[in-house]
């Protein structure tokens, strides 16, 4: 499986936007898309998403690990396609649970991470309107 790498500008925008959209599908292809705020860039080809509330999304990822993440600000945006693994134990999960506990305390909202979703980027597309809309960038 070939990995695609986010440029510094792509990572900067990902970190800047508050919410991204994660799209999944059932094994039969029925789509599902949800907004997500608990996200981090691990490196230029890996993203971490914390699962607090996934239901359909989690079921979809377990049966069909192919996922798409979209994010944008104004007219600039990207679609990242790839596959996920779900970690519910180990160091990365424990670090994620601690991070979400800190966010929970800071916001005064009861949040608890049920898992660390590790997304490996395989393709990157341009979401910006214009002649390059939908063009594969990596």
* pLDDT tens digit at each of 138 positions of the chain: 678 999 999 999 999 999 999 999 999 999 999 999 999 999 999 999 999 999 999 999 999 999 999 999 999 999 999 999 999 999 999 999 999 999 988 888 889 999 999 999 999 999 999 999 999 999
Is 15 in contact with 129 (CB distance < 8 Å)?
no
- How far apart are alpha carbons 72 and 74 in whole angstroms? 7
Question: For 45, how many CA atoms within 13 A lie in the half-sphere containing its CB?
Answer: 10
In 70-104, which positions are buried (b, 16+ CB within 10 angstroms) versus exposed (e)?
A: bbeeeeebbbbbbebebbeeeeebeebbebbeebe
pLDDT score at 26: 97
* Domains with residue ranges and CATH for the chain: 8-126 (2.30.110.10)
Q: For the chain, how big is the Rg over CA atoms in Å?
A: 15
Q: What SS3 class is residue 103?
A: helix
Q: The whole model's pTM is what?
A: 0.93
- How far apart are alpha carbons 20 and 87 in whole angstroms? 20
């Amino acid at each position: 499986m070939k990995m695609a790498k986010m440029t510094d500008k792509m990572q900067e925008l990902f970190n800047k936007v508050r919410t991204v959209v994660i799209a999944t599908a059932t094994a039969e292809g029925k789509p599902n898309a949800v907004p997500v705020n608990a996200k981090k860039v691990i490196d230029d080809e890996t993203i971490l998403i914390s699962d607090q509330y996934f239901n359909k999304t989690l079921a979809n990822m377990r049966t069909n690990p192919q996922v798409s993440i979209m994010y944008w600000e104004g007219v600039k945006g990207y679609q990242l396609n790839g596959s996920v693994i779900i970690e519910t134990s180990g160091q990365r999960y424990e670090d994620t649970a601690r991070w979400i506990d800190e966010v929970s305390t800071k916001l005064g909202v009861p949040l608890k991470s049920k898992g660390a979703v590790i997304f490996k980027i395989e393709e990157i597309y341009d979401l910006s309107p214009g002649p390059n809309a939908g063009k594969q960038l990596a």
